[in-house]
Amino acid sequence: MSLSKIKKELRKYGSIKQAKVLSGFFKTGKGEYGENDKFLGVKVPIQRKIAKKYKEISLRDVEKLLQSEWHEERLTAIHILNYKYNSSEKEEKKKIFNLYFKNIKHINNWDLVDSSAPCFVGHYLFNGDKDILYKLVKSKNLWERRISIIATYYFIRQRQFEDTLKLAKILLEDNHDIIQKAVGWMLREVGNRHLPTEEKFLLKYYNKMPRTMLRYAIEKFPEKKRKDYLYGNK
């Protein structure tokens, strides 16, 4: 059975030392955003290699892997879904999209979000109804809010900035740094494609933005311009 083989291979490359490092990096302590998550200690390039090897497994087995208590098994499932999505036709893409949202509670750390939301959530929604992003952005769940803004990375790459800016405005007062960093990152990506669009948004809202969000958004600005935004001289 492919599913058992995937789990066996992941454990083969696991490391107790690496698992401890990852547990700290992904904030699994009491009260932290990744509280109680469990790690095998497998590095991402190995997970990708295993995912590619078993990309033909059934969606049913991918779903089981996505529901795992082990972080690397969930991330490997995401990588498999990416492979499947990129090589599938319209109906299969819809199945993958629906499977993802059926199991959204298992997308519960920033790497899981960032490896999935642009790749097939953003792609799937690009030419369709985007209402689901505007529901997610108001969710009490941290990761659902992050999915909403990170999904628009695909839109940004197509030079469509409207939804990113609308969602960013909604998230201006979000008090979690995971969201603040995500919004700042997406604004920076908008600026990488069309700086006037980013600056128009910043000039209107920079004095309302959390500092973390602002710092991420202006990270690549020239030093003087960056300081002008940080110290309110715009």
Domain count, the chain: 2
The residue to which tokens 């929604």 are assigned? 125
**So what's the pLDDT on residue 224?**
92
Does 130 lie in the same domain as 27?
Answer: no
DSSP summary character for residue 70: B
- The answer to whether the CB of 72 falls within 8 A of the CB of 39 is yes
Write down how long the chain is.
234
CA nearest neighbour of 13 among 56, 37, 52, 45: 45
What is the CA 46 to chain-centroid distance, rounded? Answer: 20
Asked if residue 2 has pLDDT above 90, the reply is no
- The answer to whether the CB of 145 falls within 8 A of the CB of 179 is yes
Domain boundaries, position 208: 116-234
Asked if residue 234 has pLDDT above 80, the reply is no
Asked if residue 215 has pLDDT above 80, the reply is yes
pLDDT tens-digit readout, 165-208: 999 999 999 999 999 999 999 999 999 999 999 999 999 999 99
Does 120 lie in the same domain as 109?
Answer: no
Does 132 lie in the same domain as 104?
Answer: no
What is the CA 16 to chain-centroid distance, rounded? Answer: 26
> Distance between CA atoms of 2 and 8, rounded to whole angstroms?
10
Q: Report the chain's mean pLDDT, rounded to a whole number.
A: 96
Asked if residue 67 has pLDDT above 80, the reply is yes
